[in-house]
């Protein structure tokens, strides 16, 4: 389970709230605003779930969580949005594959 807060530059996406926001923001940006992610900066840390966040995730206040912060830039290098995700500690699996080319 995850609790996400999105921060979006409204001047880049006028009338965004008129669209069905249950679909992918990435798709909305591309289809209606001709904007695509070019660069994405991730930061992963740990924290605790508190207050409303803990309640929304059905966790006790103080429960450990993983925090994923993502900052997105468009094809012009402009900051377009960012989000902060709080993941329950028991809802995380991290998997990675690295392939070396020779």
The stretches in the chain having pLDDT less than 50 are none
Q: Where are the domains of the chain?
A: 2-91
Q: Would you state the pLDDT for residue 102?
A: 77
pTM for this prediction = 0.83
CATH fold of the domain at 2-91: Chorismate lyase (3.40.1410)
- Give pLDDT, residue 39: 96
What pLDDT, on the 0 to 100 scale, is given for residue 1? 86
Q: What is the pLDDT of residue 92?
A: 86
- The pLDDT value recorded for residue 29 is 94
Residue 101: the pLDDT is: 86
Neighbouring CB atoms inside 10 A of 80's CB total 21
What is the reported pLDDT for 98? Answer: 85
DSSP secondary structure letters along 24-75: -HHHHHHHHH---EEEEEEEEEEEE--HHHHHHTT--TT-EEEEEEEEEEET
Structure tokens that stand for 49 in this block: 């779930």
For residue 49, give every residue at least 6 positions away whose Cβ sits within 8 Å of its Cβ, in sequence order, or none. Answer: 3, 57, 59, 60, 61, 62, 63, 64, 65, 86, 88
pLDDT the model gives residue 86: 97
d(CA 51, CA 16): 29
């Amino acid at each position: 389970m995850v609790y996400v807060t999105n921060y979006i530059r409204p001047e880049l996406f006028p009338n965004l709230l008129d669209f069905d926001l249950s679909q992918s923001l990435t798709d909305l940006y591309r289809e209606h605003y001709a904007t695509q992610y070019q660069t994405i900066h991730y930061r992963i840390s740990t924290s605790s779930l508190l207050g409303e966040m803990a309640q929304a995730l059905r966790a006790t206040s103080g429960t450990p969580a993983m925090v994923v912060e993502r900052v997105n830039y468009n094809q012009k290098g402009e900051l377009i949005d960012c989000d902060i995700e709080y993941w329950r500690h028991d809802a995380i699996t991290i998997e990675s594959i690295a392939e070396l080319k020779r």
